[in-house]
Amino acid sequence: MGTLGMILQVVGGIGMLVFGIQILILAFKTSVGWGIGTLLLFVPIGIIYVAKNWATCKTPFLRYLLCLVIFLVGAGLAFYGAISGAMATPAG
C-alpha cells in the first residue's frame, strides 16, 4: 500500500505542477498583474482569476483538481501503509 501511495503522490504532484503552470501561463497572457499575483499568491489570487476567466481556465483547473484528488488518495494510502507496517512490527 505504501508504494502505491507514493507512486500516486508523485503522479498527482507532477500533474498539479503541470496544470498549475498552465493556469499561470493563462494568467500572464491576460496581464502581467494577474500573472504576478497568481505566481505569488496562488490560493487567493489564482482562484479569483480562475473564477473570473472560467471559460479559458476550466480545463486546466479541473485537471488540477483531479490531480489533487489523486495526490490526496496517494497520501492516504502511504500513511495507511506506514501505520500498518509500523503496527505489524513487534516492539523491542
CB count in 10 Å sphere of residue 90: 5
- For residue 6, the Cα-to-chain-centroid distance in whole angstroms is 14
For the chain, domain boundaries: 2-86
The CA-to-CA distance between both ends of the chain, in Å, stands at: 25
Return the pLDDT at 32: 97
Return the pLDDT at 90: 67
Q: Return per-residue pLDDT of the chain as tens, 92 residues.
A: 788 999 999 999 999 999 999 999 999 999 999 999 999 998 899 999 999 999 999 999 999 999 999 999 999 999 998 888 767 666 65
Rounded to two decimals, the pTM is: 0.85
Name the CA dihedral angle for 20, 17, 62, 78, rounded to a multiple of 10 degrees: -150
Q: In which residue are the cell numbers 479541473 written?
A: 62
